[in-house]
Amino acid sequence: MKLSQVAAQIYTVRDYLSDSAAFARSMERLKAIGYPAVELIPSSTISDKEVAAICRDTGLAVAAAHVPGKT
CA proximity to 54, closest of 64, 40, 68, 67? 40
User: Residue 71: what pLDDT?
Assistant: 67
Q: What is the pLDDT along the chain (71 residues), one digit of tens a residue?
A: 566 679 999 999 999 999 999 999 999 999 999 999 999 998 888 999 999 999 999 999 999 988 877 76
36 part of a folded domain: yes
55 part of a folded domain: yes
Q: pTM for the full model?
A: 0.85
Residue 70 CA to residue 17 CA, distance in Å, equals 25
26 part of a folded domain: yes
35 part of a folded domain: yes
16 part of a folded domain: yes
71 part of a folded domain: no
What's the distance, Cα to Cα, between the start and end of the chain in Å? 34
| Structural domain harbouring 38 | 3-65
Listed in order, strand segments (DSSP E) in 18-60 are 37-40
Q: Domain total for the chain?
A: 1
